[in-house]
Every structure is written in structure tokens, then in C-alpha cells.
Structure 1
Amino acid sequence: MSTITEGGRSYARRDLLLKIQSEIQNYWYENKVFEAEPGSKTPKEGEKFFGNFPYPYMNGLLHLGHAFSISKLEFGAAYHRLRGSNVLLPFAFHCTGMPIKASADKLAREVKQFGNPPVFPSLEEEEKSNLAPEVTTESKTEPDKFKSKRSKAAAKSSGDKSQWEIMRSFGLPDEEIAKFQEPYHWLTYFPPLAKEDLKAFGLGCDWRRSFITTDMNPFYDSFVRWQMNKLKNMGKIVKDTRYTIYSPLDGQPCADHDRASGEGVLPQEYVLIKMEIIPPFPQKLKVLEGKKVYLAAATLRPETMYGQTNCWVLPDGKYGAFEINEADVFILTERAALNLSYQNLSKIPEKPTCLLELSGYDLIGLPLKSPLAFNEVIYSLPMLTILTDKGTGIVTSVPKFGDKSAEKVCNDLKIKSQNDKEKLAEAKRLTYLKGFTDGTMLVGEFKGKKVQEAKPLIKSKLLEAGLAVLYSEPEKKVISRSGDECIVALTDQWYITYGEEEWKKNAEDCLENMNTFCEETKNGFRHTLSWLNQWACSRSFGLGTRIPWDEQFLVESLSDSTLYMAYYTIAHILQNGNMYGSDNSSIKPEQMTDEVWDYVFCGGPEPKSEIPTSLLQKMKQEFEYWDGMDDANFVFETANAAILRLTKELTWMEEVLAAENSLREGPPSTYADKVFANEINYAVVLSEKHFNAFMFREALKTGFYDLQAARDEYRFSCGAGGMNRDLLFRFMDVQTRLIAPICPHYAEHVWKNLLKKQGFVIKAGGQKQKPQTLLSESLTSICKIQ
């Protein structure tokens, strides 16, 4: 054994296992053991296994988390392969969406501003240069234009990295990084590296079926276009105008997977109450004379406007008078104005037009005419606790609950002062809830109605009379992957109608029949199905496939990822083993018409096609055979212990095989022989049970650690009589098979080079226990053999 040392420490045992790993991988790939072909007959239950791992996004290298997660599928697939099942484990690479494009554009902005390679200024230099542009008066920012409220140096000082630094962290030299300004360069660079990493990991993958997404792969592009056409023809895709979380920098909606922060945040709709300033205007507002000028307050409770006594402004707050149309001007914060400008409430769409900058002090004491208020005139007054990152910075005052309610809730929650912010927030929530659910309207047109019934009626009345408008903003702060703060926009988009009643019921029935191995997982799916209604399936920025009937839009990155498992079944036929679909193939991308896809995947009639009938039938057979998916933290001390244990076991087996002639011949006859035989059988039974339940840690324990403990106990118990040759050979055979799903390189080495077996252990089939000798529980757990 090698005695090479590093830093005085021997790595010979590790290097031995790495050498075995490399040799066995070459042995597997030379013999194409992972290339799966369909059988000639429809498989019975357990005869085939198709496992899928969610394809990773290719905006960087794979990391240890990917390896940890995929190991679960690898173990399961290897176990089924060992049992003799026909196993298909493919792997592909997801490139659709905006992160790659956003990163490429960010890199281009850095090069444009700071040079190639970029020389970023120090924090002090950039603070002096004050590069941050104004937001409120800009037009819609193009995705390729630099815009940030934070300086690059400030971002770096807070722990953020420039895109150039991120690329350097991948080990890329500066001359290579510059190439990544082109988005498609990412697609040619990272997927092949990921494939090599997974091959080195030992993944038992049929790499012929590997592919990338986007229009760079013309076959997958055709597949997604067919999918979208199919859904639209079924009436499952509609166009609608809705409030959507939106990135002004990217110029498109920002779904959960497009966000750096704010996952799960939805648009919050308000009613914007128009409180008209009564002329004559004060000197500061004289420039606005001739227009209708309103303080605009956002409220969730329009039915309470009857009780307004005044409105509040933040004295130190920054406000603006923004032109909504030819006649109307709203006074509010610029953040709210930006949201409004994307909701068809700005004279110039998507560009807030500020006629006058104001402070809260300029607004104090203004006489106002407010909708529904019993007082003909109310006034704006100062309040120091207003937050300008929520609503419009203008707050209506409706002291509707009275002193008795206030006293009770303060006593119940033990509120001592106005500084008990959390308790005050809870008090507000409780009183609002009580008033809404149990309250009755005492005044106005809807007097006598329950509050929750009157609210939508009053809301409609205000909107129809032009006394209010709808306004929406994110519930909480959302930052896109491009780094800008998101707003809410009113957008025309294509939506998949997942909430359609019959379709949803089919999904719920399917879920209840699924084995998710964990009730928590099933509950998570149930929750998603409960709220999933219309899913926006189109985007205007990024990489991907164009919507076939509306090519200004791209198919968004989750909507092109719902059926890719089906594509695996025929990818090798279409792409000839090339992940980009660019090699010579017997089929041309343009020949894959919707009729051909229907024939292959949906049982449609045989199409009129230039594709040979034999290939059409082969694709259909592949899909029908594989159709139906099957269920499917690093510590160095643990790794070192595993290395030691495996290499010690190799040494022990080599010694046993060398001393084979000295072992006791004949069938197992002693009590110790029978106990050990039972332990072997027991390990097979338990390990099979654990593998079937995808409990891989328990399978490793029973099939390796417990089995070795039984072997050690047997060796100790045999004494001078010696160990039985047949039993030891059965032990080595069984242990090698049971550990093969988890340590396949090691097991294949033992099988091929030590035990001199034919074929591959990873396809050897499971060992069967002998029922006549299997006891109800492990004998070594109830007796100690002396």
C-alpha cells in the first residue's frame, strides 16, 4: 500500500479507495451498464424503476447539497438495479428563466462601469462620487442599464459580492469571466462541468438522455411549445390582467423563484381614499392651482370612512405631488407613486411625474374634503409614528372603537405605554377583527348591515363615484435576483388555470393515492393545491421558449418544467446523446410537430410525417414502457472512519481468501454456524425492508455495520474449531450485494477483483434469505455465545 504522506499524514487508504473508484467507473462506462432500454413486454410491478431528480439550475457549479440530495435517489435506484429491476436514472440541466440573463447583464454593467477586468472603487471613493441615481423621475429602466440605490462599495461592505467576484469564486480567471456577459455562454460552460462532477460522484445515470432547456436545444424547445399549445387548446391557458409582484429593472413579473428575498409575498390591495384639498391653496401649493389635488390615503377598511376626524402626515416625511392624469394630482410618497405608475395611475405610464417635492411640514393643517366623512371639513395633523415604506405616507384617522374598547384591550394585553409596539399591534389586530366579524353598520346607506357584508358594497360605491381608486403594493419588501426592490404592477399575462375545479379535483385525488413517505410532505402539497389558482406562465425577460401564439413572451421557468420527465424517455432518440440536441440525428427538430408529440405521449393517431415509422413506434414504446414515476451534512471524522472501515474490510477479505484452504469445510453444523447463518438472513430481510422504505441509513446499519458485528461475534465464538468456509463466502457475497447501492465502486471492486464473480454486482440481484433458518428476531440480541 502507498505510503505517500501530505503534511506528515498518510492518505494511502483514501487514495486506494479513489483508485478503486476510478477503475470501477471506467469499467461501468466501458460496458454501458447504466444505459436503460425498454423490455419487449409491459413491465409488471417491480420490474422497472424510473427515478427523477429535480434538474438543477445552471447559473453556477453543483455543490455538496446537490450530492447529498441526489444520493437518496442514487441509493434507491441502485437497490432496485441490484434486485434485477430495469432501472432508468436520467439527469438534465435547467437553464430557463431570468437568473442567468440577469447575472450576465449585471456582469456587463460592471464591465461597462468599472472596466475589464473591473476595478471597483473603495467605499470612501464611491461615497464621494455619490453615483446612486434618483428613482422617481426615471422612465422604465431597461434590464441592461445600471441602476441601484446602493453603491457597489456599500453593497460589498454589507457582505454582497459583485458578479465578477462571484465568478472568481468558481475558480475562473479574469479572461474567462468576460465571456459570461453573453448569456448562452453559461449554457455551454456549466452543464458539461456538472455532468463530469456527477460522473465522478459515481451517479448511475443514462447520460444519453441528458439535455438542457431553452431554445438552444431545438428538440426541447419543440417539446415545450407542444405542451403550451396542448394546454391552450384544452382551455387551460387564458390571458388576464392582474396585480403582480413586478421587477422594474427586469421589466417583468417576479415570481418566487426569481426573488433574492421575499419568497411567498403577494400583492396587498388597498382602497386609496381621495381627500381633496379645499382651495385656496397655501403658498407652497400655489403651483398646483387649477388642478384637483388630493391627499391619497391607503386603507383596508373603506367602510370606516364615515368616522373620519382628520388625517395624519409624517412631519419629516418626504412627499411629492404626482400627476395622475390631466386633472388630478395625488400627494403621497414616491414609493407609492412608483407602484401607481405601473397600475395605470400615472399621466405617463410606468414613470411617476412629480410636479412638486414636499415635506410633511408643508401638509400640516390643510383643510380637506373626504369621502363619506360626516364632518364637511377635516384637517391634516402631524403623527411621528407613520412608516413611509408601507401605504402612501398619508393615514386616515378613524377613532371608531371608543375609550371603553381601548381600555379593555389594554387591560387584557397588559399594555403599559405607547412603547409596547408589539402589544399595540396585537391590540389593533384584535379590535379590527372583532369590529369586522361582529360589527354592524350604524350610519350611512348600509345602516343595519353586518360590517363584512357592507365593506364590498361601500368599496364599490366609492370606486364608481370616483372618490377612491384601487392601489396595490407588496405585503412585505421583495428584492429581485437583479437586486431591485419590486413593486406591484397591473399586467397582461398568460395564466395556467390550475384552480379550475375539475382539474384541481383530479390533482387532489392523485395526491391522496401517492406515497410521499412523510405526512408532512403530503400536507405541503395539500396546502399548495388549496391556494394555487391561476399561475402566470409567461415572462418577457430571460432565456427559454417563446409562447407559440404570442412570441413577445417566454414560457416561465416552472411552466417548462412540469413534464420534462416524459421527455427523458425519448431524449436519446431525438438528440443522439448530445445534451444540446445539436449532433446529427435521424430526426430533425422541425419534424417534431404537435401531431408527432400527440402520437408519442397522448395516444394520438399515427401522424403524416417524414420520420420513419420505426422511429415513431420506438419513441412511443419507450414512453409507454417507462411511463409512471417510481417513488423515490458532511463530517470529516465520519468520512475518515468510513475510509478506515472499508479498507480494513478489504484487508480482512484478502486474508480470508488467501487462507481459504485452512477454513473448515462442509455444511454449517455448529450452533455458532447456525446463529451466524441466521444473522446473515436476518440482515437481508431487514435491509430489504429499509431499502424499500427509502430508509438508507437504517439499510446501511443492518446490511453493513450489524452484519459485520455478527461476523465478528461469529469469529470470536468459533474458537479452535475455526470458521466455516461456505458461511464466510456467503457473508462476503451478501455484504457486497447489500452495500452495493451505497458504496457501488467498493462493492464492484470486491465482486470483480476479490470474489472473481462474473457480471456486475450492481445488477447481480438480491440475496434471498432461507426461511427455514430465519428466526423471528436476531439471535445475538437474545443470547451471547461463549
Structure 2
Amino acid sequence: MVVVSIATETDHRKIEEKWKKKWLDAKIFQSDPDSREKYFCNAAFPYVNAPLHLGHGFTYTRIDVMARFKRMSGFNTIYPFAFHATGEPIVGVATRLEKGDEKQRNILLSSGIPEKDISKFRDPKYIVMFWKKRIEEDMNDLGLSVDWRRKFTTIDPEFNKFISWQYRFLKKKGYVVQGTHPVVWCDHCKSPTGDHDRLQGEGESPIDFTILKFKFKDKYICAATLRPETVFGQTNMWADPEVEYSVVLVNDKEKWIVSEQCAEKLKEQGKTIKEMGKIQGKEMIGKYCTAPMIDNEIMILPSKFCNPNIGTGLVTSVPSHAPYDWQALVDLKNNPEELRKYGIDPEEVRKIEPISIIRLDGFGEHPAQEICEQLGIKSQKETEKLDKALKIIYKKEHHTGVMKDNCGEYSGFRVEVAKEDVKRELTRKGLADAIWEPTEKVVCRCGTQCYIKILENQWFLKFSDERWKQKTRECLRMMKIYPDSGRKNFESTIEWLRDKACARRSGLGTKLPWDQEWIIETLSDSVIYPAYYTIAKYINEKGMQPDQLTDELFNYILRGEGDLEKVSEQTKIDKKTIKDMKKEFDYWYGFDLRGSAKELIPNHLTYCLFHHTAMWDDQTRWPKAMTVNGMLNIEGQKMSKSKGNFIVLRDAIDKYGSDAVRITLMDCGEGMNDINWTENDVLSWKSKLNSIYHLITDNYNQGESRLENTMDKWLVSRLENHIKIMTQALDQTNNRTAATEIHQMVNDMSWYLKRTEKPNQGVVDYFLENFVKLLSPFAPFIAEEIWEKLKKKGFLSLEKWPVFDQKKIDDEILQLEESFKKMTEDIKEVIKLSGKNDKLHLYVVSDKELSHFDEGKSFLKKELAFKEANIYILSDPKKYDPEGKAKRAKFGKPGIYVE
């Protein structure tokens, strides 16, 4: 018998189409309540405005591997899916097409949409239905073991009734409130813009800048800062000489000098703004203004890093602690001609020295200077390096810095404390105000750049409620987080999360039940929808109408409240159906695992915890576990359409086959680290799967029936170790660890066949049957095909997962065979160095080694082309040892002599 690596190229796509059809026809992934322990896993549903990409495939396959593993382990398992259509993205696509946007048109063409069908995508509902159908097909092609009876979209009228029930309940509990808050705002859509409604800036949120007011004649030059505590280190003011600034009367009291863009934003943030005139930046250069708090006259100097779109468009300078300020000052001192252009004496600027106000471990007097030198920054034009320097210094000073003795009453304060205290004092004295900005640039799906608006009478989820936070902390404490290192991210989010706008004016979705002008936004209707999966099959199959889905029905089924008779009479749904729906919910909920990418922890995933603790006091309904994964890189680079390395999932499946795509993704990495997909890896796995197919089908039901020998016991022991490692790894969603064992099993079988002259049919078949079961969650299509080739009945996907048996492991044999393997490699090196391989002499220290190695003599002769092989124990007085090699022998490392 020989090991066949690649006899013929297996037609993977033909196999995948065959088993996809068989699974769907037999409905093997549809599960209903029964006496078994349940396992309910789900992943964040896809947005239906584009095809799935390889990153989706990574997240969804991770959960599918768990679903298949649990199903084979005897759990009654469901893995349902639905489709997210809420919000602005889909309307944004339609709107851009309506406007003749060529970029949007080309995106659709590149996604495989025929030219003749492009006009249909001007209808948002057509977009939803088109991508819903295609995504479902892609999921089936990927081999996801989904119960499709439970599918829905978030714009289905029936689902809208579910969300309306949810929000009426939240409002009644006081978790949805009306108030005045800063929100990220799209002026085109006239709505707050949540994370999923953004083309750019997901995760960014409002942050308040302190506006410092610098007396300038009868006006105030205003500079915005995130670090008000650094007022004690101000040395000068920066202005862009090319910018035309606005002079505005604020609240009919003070004249401020700010950028035109700032003036417009202030109007949206509760201030009365009256335009009084303009002043060119260059008109202020070389003049002086009075710095607040320190009451010093400081010079206004020219700089290009003042951005009129951020803050006020003017910047106060603290060069000791701000890398941009330090480098800009250095640049000016080195360019006297630039100063003379504005009538400034270069000597006056050379006199400006940085003022150190913060003590920071690991740095000297001027941290900004040191970090610029460390990063090799030579000019203020090196913005990437300066941004990096800024983040390093600001973070370190905020968390560990201490105010120095030259900071008045704040001397000795930790920076993070002084920041708030100084801001309060400045505001109280009328020396400061505030402006809100997004933490980074945000662009709405409609293409409009967003800004921060103070919104009155807006509806918010009251995430700041301490009682609600406490319940959510308890929920998280009870949960498993995979990997556990992600737990601190959830904890941090729970603490910093504040009230969040939950509705917008435009887009698709559920109207706020008590205020129909508002639509519940995309991150606010996607938090408890796993509960809807449990009853969706009844709503779908029985054709229930939206008006039948009353709050009373949902309260009875999902919260156990109300009277069955009254609910049945009111809804015109028969009592048996209602009881069955309640039974279904009670059996399946809460879910056992939810998976998504780590970038959703600060929003979607943590919101999910909050909403569950609000909707159910019964802790059994709360989430049991979440698994978060890193992002997907392609050939070492972040996947990006602009970089040309964006891979659509369907294209990958068509090119490499689903099984190869799945197992490559699972073998790329685990935990929260980003993973790296390479074509070499997927081609390697495609070839490996082909080899596995032939290895199993060519060697199954071969060999002879005989008693087990040492190598048989070794092979069984190795198998049991693989079962143990893979079972433990999959339970923790460590799929890469489990996938690595697939490699090892191929190596083990190949080694066994080389080491054994007459393989034991029973042992080989036992190994191969279990091998294909262990392969199944990763490469289910080819595993099913192999199972059929072995003439097994039924679907492999429904077979029992191998159970680890410690009694079948012989640790001694494992150790001895590992020594034998290493010794074989050592002998090869000796042959290579000596050029001899006529006779082999081995010296061992124990009887166990003698017995085990003696059994391998024929292998050594055949493998290494020796004419003769002899094995001696050290105690043998008749051993042949002309060069004294025996004395080098240790247990597990025999002495070697060749001639």
C-alpha cells in the first residue's frame, strides 16, 4: 500500500454543488425544540447593499464551525440568519444613482450587475431584495449550516412590529428619553448619523473642545483645544495667514474671531451668531493677544497646520508638550525670511522658549522635543509622524503626567484631574467656552460630511443610567468572552457609553411608534433580533399579518405576560400556534454564542448587552457568550477597494472552492489579532484537501486483520490526542489551533503507512473515519463526499463527534516513537556528513527502547538504504562499538554509528 498525494485533481466545485443541494433538499439544518440540550449561535447579520466580502466569510465561517461542531456533539443546534436593511446606506446608493454618480455606478458594475439592470437600483427596496437573494446564495455556497425558515429583513412590516414593541417597552421603562444632546449630524438627511450610516468615520463620536478666549483689542481670538490644562505653557498663537477669518457677535455679548466653518458650527450648537465682518489671517500675524489664565501677551505667528474645518481654525501653542507646536516653532526659527515677510523681527521669535509644565516619567523637560527627535521629524509637513508623536505624548501625559510647580493651585495635580478642573475655572471666569467636534472626519452614506449638532427634543437611549449600566455589568460578568482579552473592551465601553441618539429623519426602518417623524436608526434595531429568530418561522410559514403582531402577543410569548385566551382572541391566532411560539422561544432563548468583528465592541455588541438586560429581568434570557475576531488583511495589507486587494466572497469561492476558502480562513489566525490571507495559503490548502481525499479513500478498507502492534497503538494514541486538542480548541473558538491538527493527522497517517509493512485494517479505518469527522466542520463538502465514498449511510454533518478516550492513549509509545522519528533525522545527518550508509549500529539505554526500535529496523533499512541494521542495549557485552558511540546514548537519543 502506498500513500497517494494527488492522484487526480478533485472537482471541488462539482462536489460542493452536489452537497449543497442535498443539504437543502433534506433540510438537515432545520431544528425544532426537542429533549436534547440546545445550542443557539448567531452572527451579526449582513447589510444588504453590497456583496459579501472575504471578511464576512471569516466571521460567518467561525460561527459555522462552532455550529457544526456542536451539532455533531449532540446539541440541538440552530444557526439562523437575516438581513439588515435599516438606515441610510441603501437609500444612499439609490440617491447617488439618481444623481448620476459614476463612482456608485462603477461599484455596481464591478459587483457583477449588468449595465441594463443598473437603473433598477434607484429603488431602495429592489436593492434590498436583490442583495438578500444573492447573499443567501453566497452563504449556501460557503456551506453555512443555516436554518433559513427563520430569515427576515429589518424592513419587513412584521419585524417592524417587533421593534415597535421593543421601543414602547424601553420608553415605558425610562430607557428611551427625550433630551438635548450633541450628535453627529448629516445636514442633507436632516438626521443623526449612526455608525452603520457612515461611509467614513465608523466609531467616531462627539467630543467637546475647550474654546480659549484671547483678548485682542475689543475682540477675542478663539482657539480650541482638547488640553485646557496646558494653558500654563502657552508661548504664542498660531494663525493661517491665507485664511479669511470671521468676526462674529456671539449671543449678543462678545466678538469672536474664528474660521467661517467654526461660525457655522456654533450656530448648530445653541449659540446666536451674528456676522460682524472678516479679518485676513495675515492681518493678525506679528501682533499680540492676551493668553487666558496666565494673562501673558503672546505673539501671533504664521502656521499652515491650522485647519479652518477643525475647532476654531486657530491654535494656541504649547511647544514643550505639543509636537506640532514644537516643530512649527523650530521651522520658523530656521526660516527668518518667512518671518520678515510679515514684518516680524526673527530675533523676537528666537527668544520664545518652551515652558515645561508637566512631569512625565521617561521624558525630560520637553517631551514634545524628545518625541520629535526620536521619530526623526524634521518638518511640520511630516503630518503622519507628527500625528503619531501627538498620540504618544497626549496619551502618556493624560494617564501618567503630573502638573509641575509653575501651574499655580494645580501644581501636583495629575493631568487627567487638572484637565477638568482647569476647564471649569476658565469657563467660570468667562475665559473659555466649548465647541463639539467629531473625534475624526465623518461622512454620511449620502456623501455629506457630518458635523456636530446640539439637538433638542431628540430621542436617546439612556445608556448613562447607572442602574442600567449595573445590570449590564452583571450580564457581562456572567458571560464568556472569546478570547477573554476582549472582556476589557466590553468593560470599557460600558463605562464610557453615554446617551445615544436612537432615531433619524431619513432612511429605511421602523418608525418610532410614538413619534412617526423619526425612524429607529440602524444600530438601535439590531440588538435583540436574535429573539425574533425563535418565532420568525411561524410568522413566515403561517403568513401572519402585521396587525396580528400586537404588543400583547409579544409580551405573552417573549416575556410570559398576559392571558392566552385574550391574546388569541385579539390577534386571531389560534392558541396552539401561540403556545408553540412561546415554547420555541422558551426553549431556544437566550442565545449561546454571538460572533462579530472586534470593531463592533464599542457599539453593536455592547448595545446588545444593554438591550437584553433592559428587556428581560430573567437572566436566562441574557446572552451566554460572545466571540470577537480581528480584521482581515490581504497579502499583509488591509483589505481595501482603493488598494485593489478587495476580495468578494463569491469570487474567492469560484476560484478556489468553498472548502479551501473556509479552512484557509480558519487557519489564518484566532483571537482578536488581525489575520492575513494569502493566495499561497489557499492554494496550499486546496492541494492539501485533494491529498486528504485520496489519502482516505485510497487507504480505507485496505490492509489486513491482525492483532494490534506498537505502531497501531501509536496511531490510535495520536488520534486520541488530536480529538482532545481539537475538541478543547473548538469549544473556545480557537479554530486555528484545531485546524493545525488537520495537518498533523495527514502527517501521522503518512508516517504510519511508511513505518508499517502491513497496515492494520481495523486501526486504519478507525483513524480515517474519525479523521473525516474532525475535518467536517472546516471542509464540510469534501468531508461529506469522502463519507459517501466510504459507503457510510446518512449525512456526515449529523454524525457524532469523536469522544476523547484517555484509556486509548499510550504515552510511553508516543514518547518512544517521537524519539524514533528524531533519531531517523539524526541518522540522515550522519549519512550526509560521513557519506556512509552500508551498515547501521544503534545503541539504546533501556529494554523498552530496544524493543521499540528493533521493530523499526526494516523501516530504517528501507527508508535509509542500509544493507544491515543492528540495535544494541548498553549492557550488552557483545555489542559492536568500534568508535565508542554507545557512551553517548541517552534515553530517547540513541548513540549512532554507520559504516
TM-score of the pair, normalised by structure 2: 0.67
Aligned residue identity for 1:571: A
Aligned to 2:634: none
Aligned to 1:573: 538
Q: Does 1:439 align with 2:407?
A: yes
Determine which of 223, 240, 256 is the counterpart of 2:179.
240
Aligned to 1:334: 260
Alignment of 1:474-553 (within 5 A): 474-492=438-456, 493-553=458-518
In structure 2, relative to structure 1, the CA distance for the partners of 1:362 and 1:566 (3 Å cut) is same
Cα-to-partner distance string for 1:135-166 (whole Å, 9 max, x where unaligned): xxxxxxxxxxxxxxxxxxxxxxxxxxx21121
In structure 2, C-alpha distance between the alignment counterparts of 1:424 and 1:568, rounded to whole Å: 47
In structure 2, C-alpha distance between the alignment counterparts of 1:372 and 1:685, rounded to whole Å: 67
CA contact (8 A) 1:96 1:556 kept: yes
Cα-to-partner distance string for 1:340-387 (whole Å, 9 max, x where unaligned): 12123346xxxxx75644423556799999999979xx9996645671
- Secondary structure at the aligned position of 2:99 is classed as helix
In structure 2, relative to structure 1, the CA distance for the partners of 1:677 and 1:530 (3 Å cut) is same
Q: Does 1:387 align with 2:306?
A: yes
Aligned residue identity for 1:200: D
User: Shift in Å at residue 404 of structure 1?
Assistant: 9.0
User: Shift in Å at residue 535 of structure 1?
Assistant: 2.0
Q: Does 1:766 align with 2:801?
A: yes
User: Shift in Å at residue 507 of structure 1?
Assistant: 1.7
- Secondary structure at the aligned position of 1:95 is classed as coil
User: Shift in Å at residue 718 of structure 1?
Assistant: 3.2
Aligned to 1:612: 574
CA contact (8 A) 2:320 2:354 kept: no
Aligned to 2:188: 249
Determine which of 260, 263, 269 is the counterpart of 1:343.
269
In structure 1, C-alpha distance between the alignment counterparts of 2:395 and 2:29, rounded to whole Å: 60
TM-score of the pair, normalised by structure 1: 0.75
In structure 2, relative to structure 1, the CA distance for the partners of 1:738 and 1:318 (3 Å cut) is same
In structure 1, C-alpha distance between the alignment counterparts of 2:561 and 2:408, rounded to whole Å: 60
- Secondary structure at the aligned position of 1:494 is classed as strand
Aligned residue identity for 2:182: Y
Structure 2 unaligned runs (5+)?
1-5, 322-350, 359-363, 381-385, 411-417, 594-626, 628-675, 822-854, 857-899
In structure 2, C-alpha distance between the alignment counterparts of 1:182 and 1:299, rounded to whole Å: 45
Alignment of 1:34-73 (within 5 A): 34-39=29-34, 41=35, 43=36, 47-73=37-63
User: Shift in Å at residue 260 of structure 1?
Assistant: 3.6
| CA RMSD of superposed structures (Å) | 4.1
Aligned residue identity for 2:781: H
In structure 2, C-alpha distance between the alignment counterparts of 1:372 and 1:714, rounded to whole Å: 81
Alignment of 1:208-607 (within 5 A): 208-214=149-155, 217-262=156-201, 263-271=203-211, 273=213, 278=218, 296=222, 298=224, 314-322=240-248, 330-346=256-272, 354=275, 356-361=277-282, 383-384=302-303, 387-389=306-308, 390-393=310-313, 406=355, 412-413=366-367, 439-440=407-408, 453=421, 455-462=423-430, 470-492=434-456, 493-576=458-541, 585-607=542-564
Cα-to-partner distance string for 1:503-533 (whole Å, 9 max, x where unaligned): 2122222223322232321121112112112
Aligned to 2:652: none
Aligned to 1:723: 759
User: Shift in Å at residue 37 of structure 1?
Assistant: 0.7
Cα-to-partner distance string for 1:519-577 (whole Å, 9 max, x where unaligned): 3211211121121121221112221111111111111111111101111111111122x
User: Shift in Å at residue 701 of structure 1?
Assistant: 3.5
Aligned to 1:665: 705
Aligned to 2:782: 746
Ranked by relative contact order (alpha carbons within 8 Å, sequence separation 6 or more), the top structure is: 1
Instruction: Give the percent of matched residue pairs that are identical in Structure 1 and Structure 2.
Output: 28
Structure 1 unaligned runs (5+)?
1-10, 112-117, 119-161, 279-292, 348-352, 443-449, 577-584
Aligned to 1:284: none
User: Shift in Å at residue 337 of structure 1?
Assistant: 1.2
CA contact (8 A) 2:505 2:518 kept: yes
User: Shift in Å at residue 470 of structure 1?
Assistant: 4.0
- Secondary structure at the aligned position of 2:189 is classed as coil
In structure 1, C-alpha distance between the alignment counterparts of 2:20 and 2:433, rounded to whole Å: 66
Aligned to 1:101: 91
User: Shift in Å at residue 249 of structure 1?
Assistant: 2.9
In structure 1, C-alpha distance between the alignment counterparts of 2:396 and 2:804, rounded to whole Å: 65
In structure 2, relative to structure 1, the CA distance for the partners of 1:314 and 1:681 (3 Å cut) is closer
In structure 2, C-alpha distance between the alignment counterparts of 1:425 and 1:665, rounded to whole Å: 70
In structure 2, C-alpha distance between the alignment counterparts of 1:664 and 1:98, rounded to whole Å: 67
In structure 2, C-alpha distance between the alignment counterparts of 1:766 and 1:305, rounded to whole Å: 66
Aligned to 2:21: 26
In structure 2, relative to structure 1, the CA distance for the partners of 1:362 and 1:179 (3 Å cut) is same
Aligned to 1:683: 722
In structure 2, C-alpha distance between the alignment counterparts of 1:379 and 1:231, rounded to whole Å: 54
In structure 2, C-alpha distance between the alignment counterparts of 1:257 and 1:196, rounded to whole Å: 24
User: Shift in Å at residue 682 of structure 1?
Assistant: 3.4
Aligned to 2:586: 624
In structure 2, C-alpha distance between the alignment counterparts of 1:561 and 1:525, rounded to whole Å: 18
Aligned to 2:818: 781
CA contact (8 A) 1:313 1:393 kept: yes
User: Shift in Å at residue 683 of structure 1?
Assistant: 3.1
Aligned residue identity for 2:68: A
Aligned to 1:177: 118
CA contact (8 A) 1:277 1:369 kept: no
Greater shift in the superposed pair: 632-641 or 177-186: 632-641
In structure 2, relative to structure 1, the CA distance for the partners of 1:452 and 1:495 (3 Å cut) is closer
- Secondary structure at the aligned position of 1:245 is classed as strand
Aligned to 1:736: 772
In structure 2, C-alpha distance between the alignment counterparts of 1:672 and 1:398, rounded to whole Å: 74
In structure 2, relative to structure 1, the CA distance for the partners of 1:520 and 1:374 (3 Å cut) is closer
CA contact (8 A) 1:438 1:451 kept: no
In structure 2, relative to structure 1, the CA distance for the partners of 1:626 and 1:322 (3 Å cut) is same
Cα-to-partner distance string for 1:724-776 (whole Å, 9 max, x where unaligned): 23223222321221111112122222223x22222221111123455543224
Cα-to-partner distance string for 1:66-92 (whole Å, 9 max, x where unaligned): 112211111111111112221101111
Aligned to 1:165: 106
Aligned residue identity for 2:527: T
Aligned residue identity for 1:538: A
User: Shift in Å at residue 201 of structure 1?
Assistant: 1.4
Give the aligned length.
673
Aligned residue identity for 1:560: D
In structure 2, C-alpha distance between the alignment counterparts of 1:307 and 1:110, rounded to whole Å: 52
In structure 2, relative to structure 1, the CA distance for the partners of 1:294 and 1:374 (3 Å cut) is closer
Aligned to 2:670: none
Determine which of 692, 709, 719 is the counterpart of 2:731.
692
Aligned residue identity for 1:222: K
Cα-to-partner distance string for 1:393-430 (whole Å, 9 max, x where unaligned): 45679999998973899965568999876699999999
CA contact (8 A) 2:442 2:449 kept: yes
In structure 2, relative to structure 1, the CA distance for the partners of 1:12 and 1:181 (3 Å cut) is farther
Aligned residue identity for 2:306: L
In structure 2, relative to structure 1, the CA distance for the partners of 1:173 and 1:355 (3 Å cut) is farther
Aligned to 1:289: none
CA contact (8 A) 2:182 2:206 kept: no
